[in-house]
């Protein structure tokens, strides 16, 4: 079985947050698209970022490294990072890796964006 190619899109929100919709497998091949999406989101000067994992079924260790890279950039830019749509398994992995210590995990977009708009 082959993986699902990665793509990412940005949806700026009226409250000042930018949602980055992630789709497909987050592995080594996702690096360019993920960085491009981050740059696009950052260019709109949001006050925070929200990562949408709803359509992500596979994240490997390289994908975790890419997310660490995104988190590092967001911290340098003082952009709070929120996430939603993670399966229970990847929520567990975010806990184990301590990513969850630096990005709040929400059940759905509405609650993540609402929190980002505060």
Please give the residue ranges that form the binding site for another protein (CB under 8 A): 1-3, 25, 27-29, 58, 60-62, 64-66, 68-69, 71-72, 75, 87-89, 92-93, 95-99, 101-102
Q: Residue 72 CB, nearest distance to another protein (Å)?
A: 5
Q: 88 or 118, CB closer to another protein?
A: 88
Q: Are 24 and 6 in contact (CB under 8 A)?
A: yes
Task: Supply 66's token pair.
Answer: 């890419």
Q: Residue 97 CB, nearest distance to another protein (Å)?
A: 6
Q: Residue 110 CB, nearest distance to another protein (Å)?
A: 26
Task: Supply 87's token pair.
Answer: 């399966």
Q: 76 or 118, CB closer to another protein?
A: 76
Largest CA distance in the chain: 43
Q: Residue 106 CB, nearest distance to another protein (Å)?
A: 20
* Distance from C-alpha of 98 to C-alpha of 101, rounded to nearest angstrom: 5
* Distance from C-alpha of 54 to C-alpha of 52, rounded to nearest angstrom: 6
Q: 98 or 118, CB closer to another protein?
A: 98
C-alpha angle 20-101-95 in degrees, rounded to nearest 5: 90
């Amino acid at each position: 079985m082959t993986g699902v190619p990665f793509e990412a899109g940005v949806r700026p929100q009226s409250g000042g947050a930018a949602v980055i919709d992630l789709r497909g497998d987050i592995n080594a091949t996702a690096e360019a698209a993920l960085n491009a999406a981050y740059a696009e989101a950052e260019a709109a000067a949001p006050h925070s970022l929200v990562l949408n994992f709803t359509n992500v079924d596979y994240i490997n260790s390289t994908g975790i490294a890419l997310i660490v890279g995104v988190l590092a950039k967001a911290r340098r830019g003082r952009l709070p990072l929120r996430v939603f749509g993670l399966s229970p398994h990847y929520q567990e992995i975010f806990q184990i890796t301590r990513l969850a210590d630096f990005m709040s995990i929400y059940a759905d977009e509405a609650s993540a964006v609402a929190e980002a708009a505060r």
